[in-house]
């Protein structure tokens, strides 16, 4: 269901669709937040109301990710790309290196940014880890290619860090395996302008202290998330999105996500007209990528889909083709409508 228009299904890879209930709550919070007569974006971050909001968003994440109190949660700005830089700034010291698993665009980008800071070793498979790295980094879902990293890889001997921007809270997962998790919020967690960081205290304690404060995790942790003005609107969106997930029942949302992906991949496998791009064992749950027989047909497909209210299906410019993102807020009806449209398109163009 689209934000303002029930006839729209938004398949955008990011920023992703938001649940209509969340949009309604955000509209209300822009009118009069918590009876304060002002919007959530206009209230001091030193106020009781903001502190309560941040604590609520944090508590929701702890429940959804099943985190113990050995983890610190930080709400930072600069998106996931900011974390590509902050992570190595904080943990790569002279004489230590980091392992980066690179299986796609985002993993490569993360590795390239870290290589500007220190020694980086890239590997294709999370198997032959270095014995003494400062940390090991994976990208759990490659948003552009539409591939996911199979979960059952052997743990590295060093702390495992992950960019989960495009599949955080999209499926059941053991977050306890990871010493450090980060995600831009604009796909499954709310709106852009917020990076969620979850770090094991023990790992965090190894971070550098003598960095400019704004880029120092320990400084943000010490200040309780209030080192500088937080993006209160994005934290509010995160609180509403996670309230929505808890109200739906995360298991229900995750079962629904599995059905959505299954249904779309089944359609892609049904006919040679569609050319799914991800190897079957690595198919993403959240970003489904495919091509049509010609680029001309893809343009026709995108235009006709848009006219039917199936929007933002264009693949990333680096890859072309079609990409349907099926984040938590996309209802099953969206996939049903897309599959019905695809059948019709194949009948008339195949
Ligand atoms: C897996 C992944 N990592 C990082 C990013 C970059 O995120 P941001 O735009 O928040 O910097 C994206 C954006 O699409 C992504 O999909």
**Co-location of 256 and 242 in the same domain:** no
Considering the entire predicted model, what is its pTM? 0.97
pLDDT in tens, 157-169: 999 999 999 999 9
* CATH code of residue 147: 3.40.640.10
Q: What is the Å distance from ligand 1's center to 142 Cα?
A: 9
**Co-location of 102 and 209 in the same domain:** yes
Q: Is residue 226 part of a domain?
A: yes
Residues within 6 Å of ligand 1 by CB:
14, 79-81, 106, 139, 143, 163, 165-166, 184
Q: Which of 99, 129, 187, 260 is catalytic?
A: 187
Residue 110 · residue 182 · CB < 8 Å: no
* CATH code of residue 327: 3.90.1150.10
Q: Where are the beta strands (DSSP E) in the chain?
A: 9-10, 71-76, 97-101, 119-123, 135-139, 141-142, 147-148, 160-163, 180-184, 195-200, 275-276, 287-291, 310-311, 322-325
Q: Is residue 213 part of a domain?
A: yes
Choose one of 137, 142, 143, 147 to mutate for the ligand 1 pocket test, by most ligand atoms within 8 angstroms of C-beta.
Answer: 143
Is 163 an annotated catalytic residue?
yes
**How many distinct helices (H) and strands (E) make up the chain?**
10, 14
Closest atom of ligand 1 to 14 CA is 14
Give the number of residues written for the chain: 350
Closest atom of ligand 1 to 186 CA is 10
Number of domains in the chain: 2
Which pair of tokens denotes residue 103? 């299986």
**Co-location of 207 and 234 in the same domain:** yes
Q: Is residue 318 part of a domain?
A: yes
Q: Is residue 8 part of a domain?
A: no
**Co-location of 88 and 221 in the same domain:** yes
Sheet holding 195-200, edge to edge: 71-76, 195-200, 180-184, 160-163, 135-139, 97-101, 119-123
Q: Is residue 218 part of a domain?
A: yes
Give SS3 for 218.
Answer: helix
**Co-location of 196 and 59 in the same domain:** yes
**Co-location of 99 and 42 in the same domain:** yes
pLDDT at site 4: 53
4, 42, 269, 345 from 294: Cα distances, Å:
34, 50, 18, 14
Residues 216-235 have a mean pLDDT of: 96
Q: Is residue 17 part of a domain?
A: no
Domain of residue 147 covers 22-247
Of the candidates 289, 277, 280, the residue with the CA atom closest to the CA atom of residue 324? 289
**Co-location of 301 and 238 in the same domain:** no
Residue nearest to atom 2 of ligand 1 (CA): 165
**Co-location of 323 and 278 in the same domain:** yes
pLDDT in tens, 279-320: 999 999 999 999 999 999 999 999 999 999 999 999 999 899
**Co-location of 314 and 219 in the same domain:** no
Confidence of residue 186 (pLDDT cuts 50, 70, 90): very high
Q: Which of 33, 106, 244, 254 is catalytic?
A: 106
Please identify, among 247, 278, 301, the residue that sits at the C-terminal boundary of a domain: 247
pLDDT at site 291: 98
**Co-location of 218 and 255 in the same domain:** no
Q: Is residue 14 part of a domain?
A: no
Confidence of residue 152 (pLDDT cuts 50, 70, 90): confident
**Co-location of 296 and 205 in the same domain:** no
**Co-location of 49 and 34 in the same domain:** yes
Beta bridge partners of 184: 195
Q: Is residue 10 part of a domain?
A: no
Pairing, β 97-101 against β 119-123? parallel
Confidence of residue 5 (pLDDT cuts 50, 70, 90): low
Give SS3 for 182.
Answer: strand
Please identify, among 247, 273, 305, the residue that sits at the C-terminal boundary of a domain: 247
Confidence of residue 6 (pLDDT cuts 50, 70, 90): low
Please identify, among 204, 222, 247, the residue that sits at the C-terminal boundary of a domain: 247
Does residue 3 register a pLDDT over 70?
A: no
Spatial CB neighbours of 347, under 8 Å, sequence gap ≥ 6? none
């Amino acid at each position: 269901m689209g934000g303002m228009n029930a006839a729209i299904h938004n398949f955008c890879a990011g920023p992703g669709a938001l649940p209509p209930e969340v949009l309604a709550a955000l509209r209300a919070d822009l009118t009069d937040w918590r009876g304060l007569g002002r919007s959530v974006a206009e209230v001091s971050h030193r106020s009781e109301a903001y502190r309560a909001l941040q604590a609520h968003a944090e508590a929701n994440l702890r429940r959804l990710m099943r985190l113990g109190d050995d983890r610190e949660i930080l709400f930072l700005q600069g998106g996931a790309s900011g974390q590509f830089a902050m992570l190595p700034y904080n943990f790569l010291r002279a004489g230590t290196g980091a392992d980066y698993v690179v299986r796609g665009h985002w993993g490569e980008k993360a590795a390239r940014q870290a290589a500007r800071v220190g020694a980086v070793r890239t590997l294709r498979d999370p198997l032959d880890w270095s014995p003494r790295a400062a940390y090991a980094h994976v990208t759990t879902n490659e948003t552009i290619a539409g591939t996911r990293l199979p979960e059952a890889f052997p743990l590295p001997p060093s702390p495992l860090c992950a960019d989960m921007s495009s599949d955080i809270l999209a499926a059941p997962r053991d977050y306890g395996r990871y010493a450090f998790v980060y995600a831009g919020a604009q796909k499954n967690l709310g709106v852009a302008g917020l990076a969620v960081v979850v770090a094991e205290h023990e790992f965090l304690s190894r971070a550098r202290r003598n960095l400019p404060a704004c880029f120092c995790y320990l400084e943000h942790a010490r200040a309780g998330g209030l080192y500088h003005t937080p993006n209160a609107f994005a934290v509010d969106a995160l609180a509403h999105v996670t309230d929505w997930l808890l109200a739906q029942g995360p298991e229900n949302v995750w079962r629904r996500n599995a059905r959505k992906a299954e249904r779309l991949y089944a359609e892609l496998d049904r006919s040679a007209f569609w050319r799914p791009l991800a190897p079957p064992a690595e198919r993403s749950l959240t970003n489904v990528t495919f091509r049509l027989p010609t680029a001309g047909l893809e343009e026709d497909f995108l235009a006709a889909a848009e006219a039917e209210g199936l929007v933002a299906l264009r693949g990333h410019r680096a890859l072309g083709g079609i990409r349907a993102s099926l984040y938590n807020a996309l209802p099953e009806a969206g996939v049903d409508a897309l599959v019905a449209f695809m059948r019709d398109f194949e009948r008339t163009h195949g």
